[in-house]
């Protein structure tokens, strides 16, 4: 796994997230722009803990931070992790291939979910690419249409 480094700001967000939810955060990504949000990658098995009963934990985090918060469950298997990154879009299949020195993930997404997978102005696919690179050295993620 590649090294993931944190800034003072991300470390503060991780400490706050962990103290409010009890879940272990492996990563924190601060996305700026018109849809300013913070993405936490939690240890495999900690998703329920992060969300909490009736969403109480995640709502407390959102209230404290004052921004939209997204939680993604980590997985050692790059295919499963990428599938988690695309939630709630329906992923039919993922093929990971190496071309030269580049590792590509080709993702088949249901046609009805293609817009959701890409996101407004490409924000979701950019998040997927960034986190796949940070955690599994996948250089690019390409979306295929699937009926």
**Is 130:87 a contact under the CB 8 Å cutoff?**
no
* Exposed/middle/buried for residue 142 (C-beta within 10 Å: 0-12, 13-18, 19+): exposed
What are the extents of the domains in the chain? Answer: 8-73, 78-146
Query: CA angle, 83 as apex, 128 and 4 as ends, to 5°?
Result: 45
* pTM reported for the whole predicted model: 0.91
Residue 2 confidence (pLDDT): 59
| SS3 call for 134 | helix
The CATH superfamily holding the domain 78-146 is K homology (KH) domain (3.30.300.20)
Residue 79 confidence (pLDDT): 96
Cis? peptide before 88, omega within 30° of 0: yes
- The domain 8-73 having CATH identifier 3.30.300.20: the answer here is yes
Tokens at residue 30, please? 């601060």
For residue range 85-139, what is the model confidence (pLDDT) as tens digits?
999 999 999 999 998 899 999 999 989 999 999 999 899 999 999 999 999 989 9
Residue 35 confidence (pLDDT): 75
Task: Confirm whether 8-73 and 78-146 share one CATH topology.
Answer: yes
For the chain, the average pLDDT equals: 92
3-class DSSP string for 66-96 = CCEEEEEECCCCHHHHHHHHCCCCCEEEEEE
d(C-alpha 9, C-alpha 30), whole Å? 9
Question: How many residues make up the chain in this entry?
Answer: 147
What band does 6 get if pLDDT is binned at 50, 70 and 90? confident
């Amino acid at each position: 796994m590649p090294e993931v480094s944190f800034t003072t700001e991300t470390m503060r967000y991780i400490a706050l997230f962990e103290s409010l939810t009890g879940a272990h955060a492996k990563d924190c990504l601060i996305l700026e722009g018109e849809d300013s949000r913070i993405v936490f990658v939690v240890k495999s098995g900690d998703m329920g803990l992060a969300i909490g009963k009736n969403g109480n934990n995640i709502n407390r985090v959102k209230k404290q931070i004052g921004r939209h918060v997204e939680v993604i469950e980590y997985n050692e298997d790059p295919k499963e992790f990428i599938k988690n990154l695309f939630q709630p879009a329906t992923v039919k299949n993922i093929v990971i291939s190496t071309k030269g020195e580049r590792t590509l993930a080709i993702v088949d997404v249901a046609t009805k979910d293609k817009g959701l997978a890409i996101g407004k102005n490409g924000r979701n696919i950019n998040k997927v690419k960034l986190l796949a690179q940070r955690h599994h050295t996948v250089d690019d993620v390409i979306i295929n249409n699937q009926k």
